Structure 1
Amino acid sequence: MANPFVHVELLTSDVARAKAFYTGLFDWKLEEVPGMDYTLINVGEGTGGGMMQNPVPGSPSHWIAYVLVDDAAAATEKARALGATICKEVTEIPGIGWFSVITDPTGASLALWQMNPAYRNPAA
């Protein structure tokens, strides 16, 4: 596996303002995810993403990239062994996949993503 970047996500302090800004700046199509406070960003060609309210109060708004891995648990443990801090342990998005968030030894954060092989994207 080449471990490509597969998703980018905005954690923002003001979702409505971010939506207005990015749809004004780019030709992005936003789609609300039913039952979740999450907005998918459809960019047309290339890697899409999402945006949500930053879950850490007082933390500045920021983007985070997701990298595809074969096994989120194994990759998270490998990152820990290489000196990463685990900010979010492996978490399942039911039926879709698993992710974790790490901070590398230099202080940069990155998310690891494992797709559930049984998932079929209804938008595809």
Structure 2
Amino acid sequence: MAHGDITHIDIPVGDTQAARTFYSGLFGWDIAEVPGFEGYPMWRAPNQISGGGLAPRDASFTTPRSYVEVDSIDDTLAQVSSLGGKVLMGKSQISPTSWWAIFEDLDGNQLGLYEGVTSAE
């Protein structure tokens, strides 16, 4: 994917098994846990391009969050701040080759950033 592409969508859920049954039945999503990401089942749409995760719901995560791929999280977070947005979570490692961050736009919408490559093998 390229800089600016939406690469992942997290959906907050309270009951992971019920959510798996609901979304696989409703949309035909393939939902599975990936080794190393236990407790965070990931979904893939039938087009084999769209995907995301069923993330545990908590007080700070109550609505779906899209993640945008960027060339540099550090540069993008600097732009977020200079354009009036707010960094909610700085760059954090997912794997040795991938990172994420969260920011809030001018209207209070939360979006995630993704940089790198995550191997599911």
Bin of the TM-score, shorter chain as denominator length: 0.7 to 0.9
RMSD of aligned Cα (Å):
1.9
Q: How does 1:1-124 map to 2 (within 5 A)?
A: 2-36=3-37, 37-45=39-47, 46-54=49-57, 56-57=58-59, 61-116=62-117, 120-122=119-121
Conserved in 1, the CA contact under 8 Å of 2:3 and 2:71? Answer: no
Secondary structure of the structure 2 residue equivalent to 1:62: coil
Q: Could you state the TM-score of these two structures normalised by the residue count of structure 2?
A: 0.85
Moved segments of 4+, more than 6 Å? none
Q: Which runs of 5+ in 2 are unaligned?
A: none
Q: 1:97 to 1:18 in 2, by over 3 A?
A: same
Percent of aligned pairs with the same amino acid: 25
1:42-67: CA deviation from partner (whole Å, max 9, x where unpaired): 1131321111212x33x564211111
CA distance in 1, matches of 2:119, 2:35: 16
The alignment of Structure 1 onto Structure 2 pairs a total of residues equal to 118
CA distance in 1, matches of 2:55, 2:99: 18
Q: Which runs of 5+ in 1 are unaligned?
A: none
